[in-house]
């Protein structure tokens, strides 16, 4: 097998992290199409990444074609710390500069590379990540355009007030049908945070895990308006969340509440889950805006 391209290597690391955060067990099937949608890339680099992971014994092919997970989340290799830390630092600098208004609405790759001293591979990974998270898009002709984001504390508070309306209500919808495998996987990831992983990850990773948990729950409502509204809010609040992330001690408490809400849903007690979710959101809103 020839040496993987930087993009394939980066996507392979993303797939590993996806397996880890989803708490997939050995034997879980990995669908190329679904992975491509989640990582917002074409299926070709996904295919290359899976082949790379098969070579490394992390996934394996099946008799019917495709790939399944071979190693459990506890036995996955870590992303190289130095590279991950450097990339994370640059990513958060760009997020901070955009939030503070120091970056224009439109920017070229050359300008980004010069400003942040990036290699071509580092620039490609940065743009891929920002685009996959929905806060920058490639322009049809030349350059990139940042998407609208929450920038004021008033807008941030308003987003929580809106979530207080839609999220508890979504659980009580007559169309609510529990996606048990998805909720169990997300709950397992939350329990890992409670058990200590919260101290090992970045603010960006913590945001992804927590917002995903809320999106899994609201997704069970089968109401497209609720689902789309929360996803839009999560995209627009991402940057300000990095600045407003709770102290990890309080974060552990809120992740424990995530587990409690999920367990109520898994037991079929939607009414109590809705009440606890409302209290959870109200408390988090106060905690994150009190000092601002």
What is the rounded distance in angstroms from the CA atom of residue 210 to the CA atom of residue 131? 20
With 0.95 as the threshold, say if the pTM is over it.
Answer: no
Alpha helices in the chain (DSSP H): 6-21, 32-39, 43-55, 81-99, 109-116, 120-132, 153-171, 180-194, 203-219, 224-244, 248-266, 270-289
Cβ–Cβ < 8 Å for 71, 25:
no
Output the pLDDT for position 86: 58
User: Hey, which of 11-25, 26-40, 157-171, 196-210 has the most confident mean pLDDT?
Assistant: 157-171
Across the chain, what does the average pLDDT equal? 86
- Gap between the Cα atoms of 94 and 88, Å rounded: 10
Question: Would the pLDDT of 1 be above 60?
Answer: no
Terminal Cα-to-Cα distance of the chain (whole angstroms): 53
Maximum C-alpha span of the chain:
57
The DSSP output letter for 106 is E
């Amino acid at each position: 097998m020839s040496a993987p391209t930087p993009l394939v290597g980066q996507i392979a690391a993303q797939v590993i992290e996806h397996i880890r955060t989803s708490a997939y067990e050995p034997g879980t099937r990995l669908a190329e199409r679904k992975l491509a949608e989640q990582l917002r890339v074409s299926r070709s680099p996904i295919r290359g990444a899976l082949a790379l992971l098969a070579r490394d014994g992390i996934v394996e092919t099946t008799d019917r074609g495709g790939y399944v997970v071979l190693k459990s989340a506890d036995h996955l290799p870590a992303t190289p710390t130095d590279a991950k830390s450097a990339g994370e630092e640059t990513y958060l600098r760009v997020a901070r500069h955009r939030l503070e208004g120091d970056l224009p609405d439109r920017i070229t790759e050359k300008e980004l590379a010069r400003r942040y001293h990036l290699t071509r591979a580092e620039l490609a990974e940065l743009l891929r990540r920002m685009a996959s998270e929905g806060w920058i898009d490639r322009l049809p002709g030349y350059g990139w355009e940042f998407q609208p984001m929450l920038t004021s504390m008033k807008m941030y508070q308003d987003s929580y007030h809106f979530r207080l309306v839609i999220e508890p209500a979504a659980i009580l919808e007559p169309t609510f049908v529990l996606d048990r495998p998805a909720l169990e996987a997300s709950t397992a990831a939350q329990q890992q945070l409670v058990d200590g992983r919260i101290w090992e990850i970045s603010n960006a990773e913590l945001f992804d895990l927590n917002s995903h948990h809320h999106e899994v729950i609201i997704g069970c409502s089968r109401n497209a308006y609720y689902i789309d509204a929360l996803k839009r809010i999560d995209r627009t609040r991402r940057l300000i969340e990095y600045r407003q992330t709770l102290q990890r001690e309080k974060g552990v408490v809120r992740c424990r509440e995530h587990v409690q809400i999920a367990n109520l849903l898994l037991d079929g007690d939607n009414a109590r889950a809705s009440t606890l979710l409302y209290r959870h959101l109200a408390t988090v809103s106060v905690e994150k805006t009190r000092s601002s």
